Amino acid sequence: MSFPGHGRVLFTATLVRGHIAKFHIPYLKWFKEQGWETWVAANNDYPDGICEIPYCDHFVNIDFARSPFSKQTLVAYRQLCGLFAHEHFDIVHTHTPVGGVLTRFAARDARKTGTKVLYTAHGLHFYKGAPIQNWLLWYPVEGFMSRFTDVLITINNEDFERAKRFARCRVEYVPGVGIDLSKFAFAGCRDEKRIELGISDDSFALLSVGDLIPRKNQTAIVRALPLLPKSVKLYICGDGQERDSLLCLANELEVMDRVFLLGFRDDIAEIMSACDCLVFPSIHEGLPVSVMEAMASGLPIIASSIRGIFPDLLEDGESGLVLRDVTSQSIAAAILQLMGDYLLRDHLARCAAASVRRFDLKEALNAINDIYESVLMDSVTDLLSSQKNRIES
């Protein structure tokens, strides 16, 4: 599927490295291959300040903040208004809650001149079990912002069903942003990577992948370590505000020699091949890419039973161990179960690798591209209708 080139597309999100580079390079590449001019507007969060985005013709730094109450929010909104005042885009595809709200509001006049605005919700902040303040703030905000949205894209079934009830725009379901399964299909460097990471032959290596923030709940894994044999080590890939508190907790629990913070990594596939289990006790998610990557890697998974994981990704006892109640005790018990049962580990890995195929990047690209094509056809229809009305009048 393809559509004519020479259009202009803008992708926006709160962060470049933290979001655009993680999820949207394949989509920028696809547009470039169709002959489109590609733009990205986001906050440059690379530590060295160098921002080189593959397949991006123009990058605009926007001073987004993750919190809607930050003083930077007004600054970012004015920057976006300036961008839309000077540039016209055929498609604007926005991501992340704050970035999505500001972009859609700033683009409301652009929609009157033919710009089509899409928003992908990578996990609505109001979900079953969410704090009441999330519902009080984000439910009315997203309902209002749907007025300035042509297509609201959801990536898990709970969000899809809820969005159909509140949104005043077209709602679509797409199974995540997609992952390149070929990168994670049992990478053949396990021994070399274990040596590089210092994982001994008798160690059982736990892996956690995600930002070091309270929502990812890595503290629960650290608290489980004293309940496990000393051969169990924890490797955490990610950066964030919880780094110091995780180290303090590990020191307090006397497991500092068993916790390794690896920071932001570009070799996740190889690290997954070197570890023995992914532990993912997150409090809430949209549809976690790191879980899908572990499934593709053949890595047994222990995860919380939250939206976007159960039942969207994992079936308990078949493709993973799903914890109904996430505590240090339940995590430790699940780890001990895996350590003592090689056949179970093998069964979980094989079932997960088979079920994750439906989230392949090609499937997600095809689904999103169908949506792009349809909104562009709507643009043509709107233009013809407008011309007809002018002629008749």
Average pLDDT over residues 332-344: 96
Does the structure show a pLDDT above 60 at 393? no
The predicted-structure confidence for 267-277, as pLDDT tens digits, reads as follows 999 999 999 99
**Measured between alpha carbons, how far is 354 from 153 in angstroms, rounded to an integer?**
25
pLDDT score recorded for residue 259: 97
The predicted-structure confidence for 7-52, as pLDDT tens digits, reads as follows 999 999 999 998 999 899 999 999 999 999 999 999 999 988 899 9
**Fold match between domain 8-178+360-392 and domain 181-358:** yes
Percent of the chain with pLDDT over 90: 80
Does the structure show a pLDDT above 80 at 390? no
Task: Using CA atoms of 87, 93, 96, 101 in order, give the dihedral in degrees to the nearest 10.
Answer: 60
pLDDT score recorded for residue 27: 94
**Measured between alpha carbons, how far is 159 from 127 in angstroms, rounded to an integer?**
8
Q: Is 378 helix (H, G, I), strand (E, B) or coil?
A: helix
CA distances for 393 relative to 48, 387, 389, 390, angstroms:
58, 10, 6, 5
Does the structure show a pLDDT above 60 at 4? no
pLDDT score recorded for residue 191: 85
Domain ranges of the chain: 8-178+360-392, 181-358
Regarding predicted confidence, which is higher, 5 or 9?
A: 9
Class of domain 181-358: alpha beta
Q: What average pLDDT does the chain have?
A: 91
The predicted-structure confidence for 75-87, as pLDDT tens digits, reads as follows 999 999 999 999 9
This prediction has a pTM of 0.85
Does the structure show a pLDDT above 60 at 239? yes
Does the structure show a pLDDT above 90 at 253? yes
pLDDT score recorded for residue 367: 92
**Measured between alpha carbons, how far is 67 from 72 in angstroms, rounded to an integer?**
9
The predicted-structure confidence for 185-217, as pLDDT tens digits, reads as follows 655 678 888 999 999 989 999 999 999 999 999
pLDDT score recorded for residue 188: 61
Does the structure show a pLDDT above 80 at 385? no
* Domain at 8-178+360-392: CATH code: 3.40.50.2000
